[in-house]
Chains A and B, each alone.
Chain A
Amino acid sequence: MIPEEREEQTRESPEPTPEQELEEAKQKADTYLDSWKRAQADFVNYKHRAEQEKLEMGKYASGQLILSLLPVLDDFERAFASLAPEVKPEWVAGVKLVESKLRSILESQGLSAIEALGKDFDPALHEAVMHGTGPEGVVVNELRRGYKLYDRVLRPSQVAVGSGEPQEPEKKPDTRRHKN
């Protein structure tokens, strides 16, 4: 098996002269000063970053919670998409109000939807999951809505991107499994 790099062995040297000792002491002193300065600098930097993080946490603290609530919004959309005609319209209207309330609460916390349909595909905002019929490089279908929290992408939109060809076969390597 492959050994690690070994540390070098130093040989025992004879009694050091005062000059050598002084030199060694000077070097040590330099090292200590340097290390001390670094520790000080580390501390200052850490403090800055801690304050920065505190500020950010205030703003983005609810990010995790909101992210975990997004599937609820998705499910509401699915529910309305498959509305059967027998369902009483007043009841539907009521449930729509419920959804609307949830949305406004989240929006007041900084949530906003990412525009995808018809826009140029942008990996900073969208995740391409398949090709679709339509102009090349344009989002032709939104499979799952994406959201931002203030200026940060909370969840990218899952989209189908136009291939520029009339009929695209769907068989693409599933790079999401990463077996290779």
Chain B
Amino acid sequence: MGRAVGIDLGTTFSEVAVVQGGEPVVIPAAEGGNIVPSYVAISKNGERLVGQLARRQAIVNPENTVYSIKRFMGRKWGEPAGRELPVEEDARRKTYKVTRGPNNEVRVLMGGKEYSPPEISAMILQKLKTDAEAYLGEKVTDAVITVPAYFNDAQRQATKDAGTIAGLNVLRIINEPTAAALAYGLDKKTEETIAVYDLGGGTFDISVLEIGGGTFQVKSTAGDTHLGGDDFDQRIIDWLSDEFKRDQGIDLRQDRMALQRLKEAAEKAKIELSSVQQSDINLPFITADASGPKHLNITLTRSKLEQLVMDLVEKTLGPCKQAVTDAGITTAQIDEVVLVGGQTRMPLVLAKVKQFFGKEPNKGVNPDEVVSVGAAIQAGVLRGEVKEVLLLDVTPLTLGIETMGAVMTPLITRNTTIPTSKSQIFSTATDSQPSVEIHVLQGERPMAGDNRTLGRFMLDGILPAPRGLPQIEVTFDIDANGILSVKAHDKGTGKEQKITITASSGLNKDEVEKMRREAEMHAAEDNKRKEEVEAKNIADNMAYQAEKTLRDYKDKIPDALNKEIEGKVAAVREALKGSDVAAIQRATQDLNQAMQKVGQSVYQQGQQPPPGQQPPPGGQQPPPGGKKDDDGTVEGEFHEV
């Protein structure tokens, strides 16, 4: 059994996506880019071309290049139209021959041979399949394919047949708006009404869906088959040409190459204006006349663009009203709005949609990819690749324990995918500490007290030992259901304690957000406090070590040094009473430096002069200042190196 993919088989473009590691990903075409033009051709030398390559030679091979075959899927000559134009009308607009097959079925002529629309679609599906297999490195055997919500049974069957001809096991045919809703996980909702607003390159579709018990029902659809992003581009092209004509007296629309440049520049400007307020359209040497070359350099502002296309956007609202009415509801009863199609990225479109439906549309999934992504998710579900238990969550907030100085030491950082497990070794803070308290915390702030307590427990029976010696392994384990268990294990005694916490995922989205925001707000002061605690811990540690060292090596340390160090330790302990971080650090540093002398003293005392080397005869003393001789021993005074 090979992989299952989701396919958006569109009129002008098609796309394939697959669920990888729990997340849907759009598969790039072999020649680059994520979208494949829905074009098939037989070239002059009999070669079959699909996709981008077929499109590139369309103009010089019009009779043998088939495009927009979706309009003929499941259709018959002489059949009533429904949403589409009658076959006769559509056929007339094509550059390839559309012929009559048995039972008035539609056939197309390509390379001298007749094909049914499913056979043509199968060629496109086959290319998508091959590219997917190359990308994934494994066979693709199953697919979920999307169709418009208004497709009838014959049209759906034709799409299924196309899949079969292409060698795919069609798991299901689903509606494009449904796929879009799936991409946003809206199938998890109970009893909700969803509006899907699909504004693509050439067509506009609005659908109202109802979700209940895990299944979707299409309540109504409406649209405009000749309204899309291309029309927006045309408005810009016309405006640029008019401006230029006014300034320079030349109509650029008559110049094919100029028109081509205008078209590309218009689309580019339109896209830019979705994120900036104005765009410079700069086309040097756009044309020429007797007086010389002419250049086009015009600035298009967002507000001007909105003026140019306002009526187009408003044109989408009519079908929206219709769809809502046909569904027997009011706009207020719509719970979710989903956007499909690149043109929905335009701020004006977003604003109008928000205004019409009175709510914020779902964003986050690339609107060009949302249908294939939804189909891929459905494919994954049908294949059992995305079962309830395997849908991985993330832990929304950091988890950790309280450690010395009342700080929180994190063990599992937020947004870690679960199930997961993390261990760390901790130790005691004081000598002969008999037990440790594990205080389990959740939150983003560095100080324990500012975070949420999830639980507490004690591990006792720790054998008497100097602080820092015992090894207590603390393990955090979150299972697939989000249940946290914390275990503390004394590696020396083997004793263990553990608690289980179910509340860790009990916070809702708002509470999580609130905790994060507070962490950000207080970040600066929290950092300061953390620094303070760290400085104190280090100072405390150093003082303790110093006292221990003085005790252990009492004999080897000269009295003067002993006193010096005791003084420095006292200074550190004094500084620790306050909160002056700089002072604490200074006192610690002083003590540290003094401690270095101890090492020197102890090591140098421990070395004997090598045999054969006699101490200087008589009363000669080694020169003051402690000059080292060859074997490195120095008696008496010494200096810091």
Contact residues in A for B136 (Cβ distance below 8 Å): 45
A82 near B90: Cβ-Cβ < 8 Å: no
Provide the B219-246 mask, 1 if CB < 8 A to any CB of A, else 0: 1110000100010000000000000000
B385 CB-CB contact with A under 8 Å: yes
Report the Cα distance A6→B172, complex, angstroms.
12
Known: A1-B218, A35-B390. A178 touches B292 (CB 8 A): no
B292 near A84: Cβ-Cβ < 8 Å: yes
Of A1, A75, A158, which is within 8 A of B217 by CB? Answer: A1
The SS class assigned to the B binding surface is mixed
A130 near B20: Cβ-Cβ < 8 Å: no
Closest to A84 in B: B292
Contact residues in A for B57 (Cβ distance below 8 Å): 121, 123, 128
Q: How far is the CB of B46 from chain A (nearest CB, A)?
A: 13
Contact residues in B for A49 (Cβ distance below 8 Å): 135, 137
Known: A5-B172, A127-B56, A172-B59. A31 touches B44 (CB 8 A): no
B43 near A123: Cβ-Cβ < 8 Å: yes
Report the Cα distance A45→B428, complex, angstroms.
44
Provide the A132-164 mask, 1 if CB < 8 A to any CB of B, else 0: 000011000001100000001100101001010
Of B43, B49, B71, B285, which is within 8 A of A78 by CB? Answer: B285
| Total number of B residues with any Cβ neighbor in A under 8 Å | 62
Of B49, B62, B93, which is within 8 A of A180 by CB? Answer: B93
Report the Cα distance A35→B386, complex, angstroms.
10
B12 near A79: Cβ-Cβ < 8 Å: no
B292 near A128: Cβ-Cβ < 8 Å: no
Contact residues in A for B65 (Cβ distance below 8 Å): 175
A3 CB-CB contact with B under 8 Å: yes
Report the Cα distance A170→B53, complex, angstroms.
22
Known: A153-B31, A180-B68. A158 touches B260 (CB 8 A): yes
Q: How far is the CB of A24 from chain B (nearest CB, A)?
A: 15
A-B contact pairs, 9 of them (CB 8 A): A38-B385, A42-B21, A123-B43, A128-B59, A130-B256, A172-B62, A175-B58, A178-B67, A179-B202
Contact residues in B for A130 (Cβ distance below 8 Å): 59, 256
Q: How far is the CB of B347 from chain A (nearest CB, A)?
A: 23
A4 near B174: Cβ-Cβ < 8 Å: yes
Report the Cα distance A123→B61, complex, angstroms.
11
Closest to A42 in B: B21
Q: How far is the CB of A164 from chain B (nearest CB, A)?
A: 10
B384 near A128: Cβ-Cβ < 8 Å: no
A-B contacts at CB below 8 angstroms, number: 125
Closest to A78 in B: B285
Report the Cα distance A152→B31, complex, angstroms.
8
A: residues with CB less than 8 A from B are 1-7, 31, 35, 38-39, 42-43, 45-46, 48-49, 75, 78-79, 81-82, 84, 121, 123-124, 126-131, 136-137, 143-144, 152-153, 156, 158, 161, 163, 170, 172-173, 175, 177-180
Find residues 146-173 in chain B having any chain A CB closer than 8 Å to their own CB.
149, 151-153, 172
Provide the B134-147 mask, 1 if CB < 8 A to any CB of A, else 0: 01111000000000
A78 near B284: Cβ-Cβ < 8 Å: yes
Contact residues in A for B93 (Cβ distance below 8 Å): 180
Contact residues in A for B226 (Cβ distance below 8 Å): 179
Q: How far is the CB of A9 from chain B (nearest CB, A)?
A: 10
Report the Cα distance A153→B43, complex, angstroms.
20
Closest to B52 in A: A123
Best-buried of A5, A75, A79, A179 by chain B (most CB within 10 Å): A179
Known: A121-B60, A130-B59. A46 touches B20 (CB 8 A): yes
B632 CB-CB contact with A under 8 Å: no
B507 CB-CB contact with A under 8 Å: no
A126 near B90: Cβ-Cβ < 8 Å: no
Q: How far is the CB of B323 from chain A (nearest CB, A)?
A: 11
Report the Cα distance A173→B67, complex, angstroms.
13
B44 near A152: Cβ-Cβ < 8 Å: no
Top 4 nearest A-B pairs by Cβ distance?
A78-B285, A128-B60, A127-B56, A123-B56
Q: A35-B387, A177-B230, A178-B202 are in contact. List 17 more A-B contacts (CB 8 A).
A: A1-B217, A1-B219, A2-B151, A4-B175, A4-B215, A6-B215, A45-B137, A123-B56, A128-B60, A129-B256, A131-B59, A158-B260, A175-B95, A178-B201, A179-B202, A180-B67, A180-B94
B178 near A4: Cβ-Cβ < 8 Å: yes
Q: How far is the CB of B577 from chain A (nearest CB, A)?
A: 54
B204 CB-CB contact with A under 8 Å: no
B215 near A178: Cβ-Cβ < 8 Å: no
B214 CB-CB contact with A under 8 Å: yes
Contact residues in B for A4 (Cβ distance below 8 Å): 174-175, 178, 215-218
Contact residues in A for B32 (Cβ distance below 8 Å): 152-153
Best-buried of A1, A6, A152 by chain B (most CB within 10 Å): A1
Known: A75-B284, A82-B292, A175-B67. A156 touches B56 (CB 8 A): yes
Report the Cα distance A153→B52, complex, angstroms.
12
Q: How far is the CB of B340 from chain A (nearest CB, A)?
A: 18
Known: A3-B217, A4-B175. A161 touches B60 (CB 8 A): yes
Known: A38-B385, A78-B284, A123-B43. A180 touches B54 (CB 8 A): no
Report the Cα distance A33→B379, complex, angstroms.
20
Contact residues in B for A156 (Cβ distance below 8 Å): 56
Report the Cα distance A173→B94, complex, angstroms.
9
B60 near A131: Cβ-Cβ < 8 Å: yes
Of A143, A153, A180, which is within 8 A of B257 by CB? Answer: A143
Known: A35-B387, A143-B257, A172-B59. A75 touches B285 (CB 8 A): yes
B284 near A178: Cβ-Cβ < 8 Å: no
B293 CB-CB contact with A under 8 Å: yes
Report the Cα distance A157→B149, complex, angstroms.
39
Closest to B291 in A: A84
Known: A178-B230, A180-B94. A137 touches B256 (CB 8 A): no
B332 CB-CB contact with A under 8 Å: no
Find residues 65-101 in chain B having any chain A CB closer than 8 Å to their own CB.
65, 67-68, 71, 90, 93-95
Q: How far is the CB of A75 from chain B (nearest CB, A)?
A: 5
Contact residues in A for B67 (Cβ distance below 8 Å): 175, 178, 180
Report the Cα distance A161→B43, complex, angstroms.
13
Closest to B217 in A: A3
A180 near B71: Cβ-Cβ < 8 Å: yes
